[in-house]
Chains A and B, each alone.
Chain A
Amino acid sequence: MPQVTLTVNGQTHSVEVEGRTLLVELLREKLRLTGTHVGCDTSQCGACVVHINGESVKSCTTLAVMCQGAQVTTIEGLAKPDGTLHPMQEAFREYHALQCGFCTPGMVMSAVDLVAKNPQGLSEQEIREGLEGNLCRCTGYHNIVKAIAAAQDVMHGRRETLAAAAE
């Protein structure tokens, strides 16, 4: 069986996988990082989004063997080691942008990448379009859009805290 060596949330792992093993299977079943979810198997819902070398990627349609040498960040690796939440995680809580929580890890990982790639700032409509690849069945997206709008100001240093962004 092929062996793949990759770094996940700063820790290096060498794992034997089948050729058909998906990255999400490696994360969930081999590394027991179950924060990354599978919601649709067809790249529609985005519950499985992680970052590979800083880019948001759907891990349900990425083969594990494609990740040789990659730096992978999952939702478990987003907060600081002391537990301080990333501004995007904080914003989701502040704006009640999650209900059942199942889409949340993928939604947050997508949102972090979306904001990082757009330092000029995103309008509400641009955020909505930027979330095309992520489904949420609970919230109606209203509060997710608000959370991302608030978090981008903090991530880009335009505001210091979410409370300020909420004004």
Chain B
Amino acid sequence: MNVMAPFEGIGASVKRKEDFRFLSGRGQYTDDINRPGQLHAAILRSPHAHARINGIDLAAAKAMPGVAAIYTSDDLKAIGGLPCGWQIHNKDGSPMAEPKHPVLAEGKVRHVGDPVAVVIADTKQRARDAAEAIAVDYEVLPAAATMTQAQAPGAPAVHDDVPSNLCYDWHIGDKAAVDAAFARAAHRVVFETTNNRLVPNAMEPRSAIGDYDPTTGEHTLYTTSQNPHVIRLLMGAFVLQLPEAKLRVVAPDVGGGFGSKIYHYAEEAIVTWAAHKLHRPVKWTADRTEAFMSDAHGRDHISRAELALDAEGRFLALRVHTQANMGAYLSTFAPCVPTYLYATLLAGVYTTPAIYAEVKAVFTNTVPVDAYRGAGRPEATYLLERLVDVAAQQTGFDRVELRRKNFIPTDAFPYQTPVALQYDSGNYFATLDQALEASGWAGFEARRAEAKARGRLRGIGVSTYLEACGIAPSAVVGSLGARAGLYEVGTIRVHPTGSVTVLTGAHSHGQGHETTFAQLVADKLGVPIANVDVVHGDTAKVPFGMGTYGSRSLAVGGSAMDKAMDKIIAKGKKIAAHLMEASVEDIEFERGVFRVAGTDKQKALAEISLAAYVPHNYPIEELEPGLEETAFYDPKNFTYPGGCHIAEVEIEPETGKVSLVNFTAVDDVGRVINPMIVEGQVQGGVAQGVGQALLEQCVYDADGQLMSGSMMDYTMPRADDLAPVSVATHTTLCTHNPLGVKGCGEVGAIGSPPAVMNAVVDALKDYGVTHIEMPATPPKIWSIIHGKAA
């Protein structure tokens, strides 16, 4: 009897394959790896935001027990600086300022945490003890701790060769059209805001182990990275000048990334270089305070936005001026975050016909900024969705109706925006309506009244958003300054007995690829997911890859796998035709079975794969043996997930504490492969968005000292800071990738901050509040309620 196996293909909430090892303590994160004979590195970091190094005395440290070596920039003269992956051009066409980013500080330190020296010893504790014994003669310099300080006349120069501290002054859009539209507008609305600097804080601190085999000349780097092939390329080609064949990069289980583990960090180069030098493995693992002062930070914009509306409330034009903090050095992605991942998103879900945006990127004496979940898109969405609420408040239009009136019509796709992007699909009316219904929007006033009776201020807020992800078409991003292609690579290896190994250039650090990707194979090739092994994170196993960020794993990496499976099927049909003595054109394939059309003749995939590896009866003249195919997939466009988030909050007037009481997300992420995983991704993204809105802020004092340098000082969302998050999807398919998928990793963090802040402002509307800056902490709220300056 044939028992139906449970459906494991596209659309099934399959439980995750990776969970057993994580739940039993058998995950293998970088710090869990120990190499024979391993030494330990400790990094001495700058305690100052800006200082000249007049001398470094290593004598006492070198005499400490267990110390194998101490290195400073003097020892690294032969290696290159850390490269930036993206070059932006100024308004006048000249390239951005790109000062050198030395692996260890050369002559000057530029932020608290800037690495000055590395101590390598037989234990971690002894390396740290010796680092404390290094005497650095610092001449403390005035710091440019904020963008305002950095741009003031006579400001200290973070880099001597960039006296203006201006990395670039860039723009996009049609300024003349925007000016003309403003001249004839019935309403002009101005909104100014700061997008708070955040620390990504993946729970796993960064770690790196360098290993070197002198007999083969092969270097191996184990690292906490979202993109091991990118690290191999950047570190091998630009920093250490090692050919790819002599450099293996392994990113094993990685405990969260959120963008902060894209960047090629100094420590990766240090341990790899030192392992070669010492012929011993060298391991470094950050503690959390080190993470705060050396992991890339996120966000940190100051913006002014102006919206022109006609008398009926139609958006005529949008003008935006933004300053974006780069920190002290350019990280791998930083320059593209406030430009091509931000200003191009300013049309949002609206038909605004004219948009002009200027972005100035500024160097400061702070930790480098890079992508953080959403990267640019949360900043654009926050600016736009708060601006629309401010516009509604000022013009008297209902905030929901004002949005609806300006939505891109559902029949207008593909829709070309005035800021470069062409949206392929979406239905913003449907996601809005579904979210209004699910959140009980219509009945809110009764809940507000009920809360008021309990002495609580209740508010509701909406955001209708869109993002561009699935990055990205290589030729397009190349023309915009990317120094790499952004395709993805997938290999499908069908083994002789029909089980499958998938090699993917995407990297999973919580996204559940081992399950979702196996489901793609189950769906298309009919192989049970238990027989599908997904391999990622090792340049010695996976042919190539660009890694995971920008919600690209499924849209780009999954599409590569799909293309590779097409090749498997095409070859399998030829083998099947031979075995069943039919013409190739007559072979049909569906979920693991090759059939001769119109007959009962069929062969299972496992029979075909066995024939491919045991080619006794095989079309050997025309076909190579074996059943393994690789595809490089370069996307034709970005993907455009979008949707509607609605937040409901309650404020306790006595303390100013804002509590999230309800959150509804209705997202269009394209075709859903595993609904359980999509829901989890959205919930996690929303938690980070709520964290940005209510709790999190990275604080530097005026001297550039990092004030929020531990989890005791930086408020991470805890379980009782959050509420249940209701997640639903409404699908329109992506029209240009074979799976119809759009991506779900970042939507939660993109759509939620303005929904929460619109709710907070709504809760305080009786206090004449028009805007509150994130995070909406109790002191700010209390001060508003009690009429005192914060």
8 Å CB interface, A112-127 against B = 124-125, 127
> Which 9 residue pairs of A and B lie closest in terms of their CB atoms, listed nearest first?
A35-B25, A102-B255, A101-B22, A140-B687, A100-B510, A99-B510, A75-B25, A34-B32, A44-B711
Instruction: Give the distance to chain B from A125, nearest Cβ to Cβ, in Å.
Output: 7
B720:A101 contact, CB within 8 angstroms: no
Q: Which A residue sits closest to B690, measured CB to CB?
A: A140
Instruction: Give the distance to chain B from A70, nearest Cβ to Cβ, in Å.
Output: 19
Asked whether B18 is an interface residue with its Cβ less than 8 Å from the other chain, the reply is yes
A142 to B258, CA, bound (A): 19
- How many A-B contacts at CB < 8 Å in the complex? 181
Given contacts A44-B712, A135-B711, A139-B687, contact A39 B203 (CB under 8 A): yes
| Chain B residues near A42 (CB-CB < 8 A) | 288-289, 710-712
Interface flags for B4-28 (1: CB within 8 Å of A; 0: not) read 0000000000011011111111111
B253:A138 contact, CB within 8 angstroms: no
8 Å CB interface, A38-91 against B = 38-42, 44-45, 47, 74-76, 78-79, 85, 89
Extra inter-chain contacts (18) besides given A20-B125, A137-B684, CB under 8 Å? A36-B25, A37-B204, A38-B31, A39-B205, A44-B711, A45-B203, A89-B23, A93-B23, A96-B680, A99-B681, A100-B202, A101-B22, A101-B510, A102-B27, A102-B204, A128-B722, A134-B719, A140-B722
| Chain B residues near A36 (CB-CB < 8 A) | 25
A143:B680 contact, CB within 8 angstroms: yes
Instruction: Give the distance to chain A from B537, nearest Cβ to Cβ, in Å.
Output: 13
8 Å CB interface, A2-37 against B = 18, 20, 28, 32-37
| Chain A residues near B253 (CB-CB < 8 A) | 100-101
Cβ-defined partner of A137 (8 Å) among B258, B287, B712? B258
| Chain A residues near B681 (CB-CB < 8 A) | 99
Cβ-defined partner of B19 (8 Å) among A18, A75, A92, A137? A92
Q: Which A residue sits closest to B515, measured CB to CB?
A: A96
The range of chain A's interface size is 35 or more
Given contacts A41-B289, A99-B684, A102-B256, contact A137 B719 (CB under 8 A): no
Asked whether A166 is an interface residue with its Cβ less than 8 Å from the other chain, the reply is no
8 Å CB interface, B558-577 against A = none
Which residues on A are within 8 Å of B, measured CB to CB? 18, 20, 28, 32-42, 44-45, 47, 74-76, 78-79, 85, 89, 92-94, 96, 98-105, 108, 124-125, 127-129, 131-132, 134-145
Given contacts A42-B711, A135-B716, contact A142 B204 (CB under 8 A): no
A4 to B66, CA, bound (A): 23
Asked whether B519 is an interface residue with its Cβ less than 8 Å from the other chain, the reply is no
A132 to B722, CA, bound (A): 12
| Chain A residues near B683 (CB-CB < 8 A) | 139-140, 142-143
A40:B711 contact, CB within 8 angstroms: yes
| Chain A residues near B724 (CB-CB < 8 A) | 124, 142, 145
Q: Which B residue sits closest to A142, measured CB to CB?
A: B683
| Chain B residues near A92 (CB-CB < 8 A) | 19, 23
Instruction: Give the distance to chain B from A78, nearest Cβ to Cβ, in Å.
Output: 8
Most central of B18, B23, B29, B748 by chain A CB within 10 Å: B23
8 Å CB interface, B240-272 against A = 253-256, 258
A55 to B450, CA, bound (A): 42
B725:A101 contact, CB within 8 angstroms: no
Most central of B15, B24, B32 by chain A CB within 10 Å: B24
Cβ-defined partner of B24 (8 Å) among A38, A85, A127, A139? A85
Q: Which B residue sits closest to A140, measured CB to CB?
A: B687
Number of residues from B at the complex interface, CB < 8 A = 58
| Chain A residues near B509 (CB-CB < 8 A) | 100
| Chain A residues near B686 (CB-CB < 8 A) | 140
A167 to B362, CA, bound (A): 55
Cβ-defined partner of A35 (8 Å) among B24, B34, B679, B710? B24
Q: Which A residue sits closest to B24, measured CB to CB?
A: A79
A89:B720 contact, CB within 8 angstroms: no
Interface flags for B713-746 (1: CB within 8 Å of A; 0: not) read 0001111101011000000000000000000000
8 Å CB interface, B670-696 against A = 676-677, 679-681, 683-688
Instruction: Give the distance to chain A from B744, nearest Cβ to Cβ, in Å.
Output: 12
B255:A132 contact, CB within 8 angstroms: no
Cβ-defined partner of A135 (8 Å) among B31, B203, B684? B203
Asked whether B474 is an interface residue with its Cβ less than 8 Å from the other chain, the reply is no
Instruction: Give the distance to chain B from A25, nearest Cβ to Cβ, in Å.
Output: 8
B29:A85 contact, CB within 8 angstroms: no
| Chain A residues near B685 (CB-CB < 8 A) | 140
Most central of B19, B253, B676 by chain A CB within 10 Å: B19
A35 to B688, CA, bound (A): 26
Instruction: Give the distance to chain B from A133, nearest Cβ to Cβ, in Å.
Output: 9
A99:B680 contact, CB within 8 angstroms: yes
A38:B205 contact, CB within 8 angstroms: yes
Asked whether B201 is an interface residue with its Cβ less than 8 Å from the other chain, the reply is yes
Q: Can you list 14 pairs linking A and B with CB atoms under 8 Å apart?
A: A37-B204, A37-B255, A39-B204, A41-B289, A44-B710, A92-B19, A96-B16, A96-B676, A101-B21, A102-B204, A103-B203, A128-B722, A140-B683, A141-B718
A142 to B20, CA, bound (A): 20
Most central of A44, A94, A100 by chain B CB within 10 Å: A100
Q: Which B residue sits closest to A143, measured CB to CB?
A: B680
Q: Which B residue sits closest to A98, measured CB to CB?
A: B22
Q: Which B residue sits closest to A75, measured CB to CB?
A: B25
| Chain A residues near B406 (CB-CB < 8 A) | none
Instruction: Give the distance to chain A from B29, nearest Cβ to Cβ, in Å.
Output: 7
Most central of A33, A35, A125 by chain B CB within 10 Å: A35
| Chain B residues near A125 (CB-CB < 8 A) | 720
A125 to B661, CA, bound (A): 12
| Chain B residues near A39 (CB-CB < 8 A) | 203-205, 288
Q: Which B residue sits closest to A133, measured CB to CB?
A: B718
Asked whether B511 is an interface residue with its Cβ less than 8 Å from the other chain, the reply is yes
Given contacts A42-B288, A108-B23, A132-B720, contact A99 B712 (CB under 8 A): no
Interface flags for B485-515 (1: CB within 8 Å of A; 0: not) read 0000000000000000000000001111000
